[in-house]
Amino acid sequence: MAPLVALAALAATWGSHPAVAVVVIIDIFLAGAVLAAVHHAEVIAHRVGEPYGSIVLAVAVTVIEVGLIVTLMISGGSQAETLARDTVFAAVMITCNGIVGVSILTAALRDRVASFNAEGSATAFATVVTLTTLCLVLPNFTTSTNGPEFSSSQLVFAALASLSLYALFLFVQSVRHRRLFMHVEEEGGEPAAEEDDLHEDPPTNADALRSLALLFVALVAVVGLAKTSSYAIEEGVKSIGAPASAVGVVIALLVLMPETLTAWRNARRGRVQISFNLAYGSAMASIGLTIPAVAVASIWLDGPLVLGLGSIQIGLLGLSAIVGALTLLPGRSTLQEGGVHLIIFAAFVFLAFNP
- pLDDT given at position 200: 60
Closest to 255 (Cα-Cα) out of 73, 129, 67, 75: 67
Q: Cβ(95)–Cβ(283) under 8 Å?
A: yes
**Cα(328)–Cα(41) distance, rounded to whole angstroms?**
26
Q: Which residues contact 253 (CB under 8 A, 6 or more apart)?
A: 90, 94
- pLDDT given at position 286: 87
124-128, 155-159, 296-300: least confident range: 296-300
Tens digit of pLDDT for each residue in 40-81? 877 887 787 767 777 877 777 777 777 767 766 766 555 667
Q: What are the structural domain ranges in the chain?
A: 2-353
55-69, 249-263, 340-354: least confident range: 55-69
In eight-state DSSP terms, residue 184 is P
Backbone angles phi, psi at 241, to 5 degrees: 80, 20
Q: Which residues pair with 114 in a beta bridge?
A: 333
89-103, 120-134, 220-234: least confident range: 220-234
- pLDDT given at position 22: 81
Q: Cβ(245)–Cβ(82) under 8 Å?
A: yes
CA distances from 173 to 55, 96, 288, 289, 324 (A): 9, 18, 15, 17, 19
Tens digit of pLDDT for each residue in 316-329? 999 999 999 999 99
| Sign of the torsion angle spanned by Cα atoms 180, 186, 191, 193 | negative
The fold for domain 2-353 equals: A middle domain of Talin 1 (1.20.1420)
Closest to 284 (Cα-Cα) out of 134, 176, 105, 139: 134
Q: Which residues contact 8 (CB under 8 A, 6 or more apart)?
A: none
Q: Cβ(95)–Cβ(259) under 8 Å?
A: yes
260, burial (CB in 10 Å: exposed 0-12, middle 13-18, buried 19+) = buried
**Cα(123)–Cα(331) distance, rounded to whole angstroms?**
12
Q: Please provide the distance, in angstroms rounded to a whole number, between the alpha carbons at the two ends of the chain.
A: 42
**Cα(102)–Cα(261) distance, rounded to whole angstroms?**
10
Please say if the pLDDT value at position 186 is more than 60. Answer: no
Q: Cβ(117)–Cβ(182) under 8 Å?
A: yes
- pLDDT given at position 189: 40
In eight-state DSSP terms, residue 270 is T
Q: How far is CA 288 from the centre of its chain?
A: 12
172-186, 269-283, 314-328: least confident range: 172-186
CA distances from 163 to 53, 122, 156, 216, 290 (A): 21, 20, 11, 22, 10
Helix axes 52-75, 272-297, angle to 10 degrees: 30
222, burial (CB in 10 Å: exposed 0-12, middle 13-18, buried 19+) = buried
Q: Cβ(276)–Cβ(53) under 8 Å?
A: no
For the chain, the average pLDDT equals: 83
- pLDDT given at position 190: 41
2-16, 76-90, 312-326: least confident range: 76-90
CA distances from 68 to 89, 324, 346 (A): 16, 30, 26
